Structures are given as structure tokens and as C-alpha cells.
Amino acid sequence: MAVALTGGRVLNGHGFVTGQGVVLEGDRIAAVLPETETLARADQRVDLQGAILAPGFVDVQVNGGGGVLFNDDLSVDAIAAIGAAHRKFGTTGFLPTLISEDLGAIDRALRAVEAAIAAGVPGVLGVHVEGPFLNAARAGIHDKKKFRVLDERASALLGSLSAGVTLVTLAPERTEPQMIRRLAAAGVVIAAGHTDADYDQIRAALEAGVSGFTHLFNAMSPMTARAPGAVGAALEAADGFCGVIVDGRHVHPAMLRLALRCKPAERFMLVTDAMPSVGLVDKSFTLQGQTITVQDGVCVAPDGTLAGSDLDMASAVRNTRDLLGLDLPTALRMASLHPAQFLGLDHEIGRIAAGQRADLVLLDDDARVQATWIGGNPLWT
């Protein structure tokens, strides 16, 4: 059955347009047409009553949600629960993220993601393996005892996902450029993060196949006058995507505004780095034996170390508008098209165009979620 979504403001490559209808057939967008032409194409019409229709949000860094931490439950049910929690906030595509673990746990995580995709769990696009190939000097909340060098065995495992995208965050100085090339050749998307690399090491890693940076500014060598560090290399790299946590606490908004003056907004993508507290009233949980609490919207360990976030993507979009001064269409693209491009999935998701998967979010004027569609299946909030 074809369904026409009409009466909304549709986000396209330039901004919001009115008078356009979006026709859904099965799991795809069949057409974007003048509203007067949609009725002939559709069996059913849904009046969006002036709300904003945008591509569904894509979050490449989701540690947990709805009371579930992926590290603690490497199962299809856990992935489904995390996805359901974030869908309420507009996320229609996500990577369940494994925080530094041993190779056995990484294997189980990959196999759980394969099974989730095979089972049709809504929204799961692959997996993000964040560590353990990290630098202890920039560990953050990660367990340093888990850290290891990226070797042949680990590389083969990381390239073994049979369905979906594998994103790996690593510290380039903890491996060699030829290993990065091997991962990239296997189709793995590679981001630099939790790294103390200097500028030259990051440049070499970019040439070898690193294409992004995990939570820019956080857990990486800073930019100083005579040592640009990972931050300086990231801001100079014209093609490198930078994930940013826009909660006003992980990074001062002024720093993000300055970053946006260094390279186009098209190379920034919103991430949540979300923890199990997202979607819950109870804002505490356990991570690696430590009790993590949410204080002023940020997850912190007893010693004050940041431990992911309590951020959802709809809030990140609003914060990008309000704290960084970007217009809403740009903020929405940072939550949808840009991460889709980073993952190499923009031929499938991230735009409202014929042939794209029908992953959509409906928002009110304050960018609060009214409904989502994943593969054409609606969920009204």
C-alpha cells in the first residue's frame, strides 16, 4: 500500500519546502512530488499538519539506552531495547557501541549485530567497536587493562561482520599505517579517538584510511601553538568527519563554534555517546563496576570522569541550533545526512528522495519528535 505524507515542511538539500508530498511504498520512498500529484500515487494520505519532516537521525555512537548497556548484554534483545529507547528521540539508524573489551567480547558483539540485522531489528546499521586499541594516556572511562595493540588476529576479527557497517575507533599511534590500510581495504570505517597521537601521526593515519574522529576534543591530544595534535589535524583535514557531543558539557560551545569556522558543517556529525540512562527516569547505572550518575545532564564516575552522556539526538539537534547558532536545517543534516555519508550509507539513508529507505522523523517547531518511520513503518509518540 502506498502512503502519501502531505501537509508538512519537507527538508531537502536547501531547507524546508512546502507543497511537497512524500510517497512511501513498502520500505522505500517512492516519490517526492507536488502534493496535487500525490493522491494519484497513494492509497492512503497522512496529513502532517504543518510539522517538519526530516530524514531520520543516524547515531554512530550509542553505548546504551532504556536501561541497557551493550557491553553488559551482547544480545539481539539488548540491541532492540537500545534502538527502541532512542527511536523515541528520532534516531532511526544507530550503531550499538562496544566500549573497550577483549577479543572474545568483540566477537560476540559482532555476531549479535549480525543476528539483529537478520532478525529485522529496527534501526540497527552495524556496530561501533570503540577500543581496545586505544592510548592509556587518553583512556577516559575506558578500562586500561583491556587495552591492546591492533594485531593480525584482531584485524581479521574486525573485518568479519557479514552484514552492516563496522566502525572502529582506535589510537593511530597504537598501530601501524599498514594495519589501518588493511582494515580500510576490508571495508571497515576507521575513526581516530582516545589518542595521544601528534599531528604527523594523525596525518599519516588519514592517508592510510582513517576517515573520522570520535568525539572531537574529548580524549585526544589538544591543539597548542607548536603542537597541533589530534585536534589540529582533525580541524585541518578537509575530508575527515568529526563526531561532536553537543550537550554543553563535553565541549564548551565556544570551542565547537570555533571548530565550525575551520571546516564546513558538512564534515561534522552529531553523536550522543549515550548511556543506559537515556529514556529512563532513574539516571544511574553501573559501568565496569563503578556507579555512574547523571549530573546536570552528564554521566560521571565517582572521581568525576566523564562516562558517556545522557544525551538524545533530538536534544543534540536543538543544542546545535541554540548553543552553536546553526540553522535548524543544518543541525538536522548533521544528525542524518552527514553520519550517513561517514558510514558510506547515504545511497540508502540520510535524505528524503526517491529510492531512499523510508527512515523519517516528524518534528514540531521546537524540534521535538512527533513520529518516526523506519523502513516505512510508523511510530507515533
What contacts 335, CB < 8 A, 6 or more positions away? 57, 58, 59, 90, 269, 270, 313, 316, 317, 320
Q: Are residues 307 and 204 in the same domain?
A: yes
One domain for residues 19 and 161: no
142 and 277: one domain? yes
Q: Quick: pLDDT tens for 33-76.
A: 999 898 888 899 999 999 999 999 999 999 999 999 999 999 99
Share of the chain above pLDDT 90, in %: 89
- pLDDT of 317 over the 90 cut: yes
CA 214 to chain centre: 10
Q: Tell me which residues are annotated as active site.
A: 273
> Does 244 share its domain with 147?
yes
pLDDT tens by residue, 186-218: 999 999 999 999 999 999 999 999 999 999 999
Residues 229 and 169 in one domain: yes
Say yes or no: 105 and 209 in one domain. Answer: yes
Domain count, the chain: 2
Max CA-CA distance within the chain? 64
Could you tell me if 337 and 365 lie in one domain? no
- Please indicate, yes or no, whether residues 37 and 65 belong to a single structural domain of this protein: no
One domain for residues 94 and 8: no
> Could you tell me the CATH number of the domain that includes residue 254?
3.20.20.140
Asked if 29 and 60 sit in the same domain, the reply is no
**Residue 46 shares a structural domain with residue 60:** no
Identify the domain containing residue 45 by its residue range: 2-50+352-380
Report the CATH number that the domain containing residue 10 is assigned in CATH.
2.30.40.10
Cell 553501573 sits on residue: 286
- Judged by phi (left if over 0) then psi (alpha if -120 to 50, else beta), residue 49 lies in left
- Residue 73 and residue 201 share a domain: yes
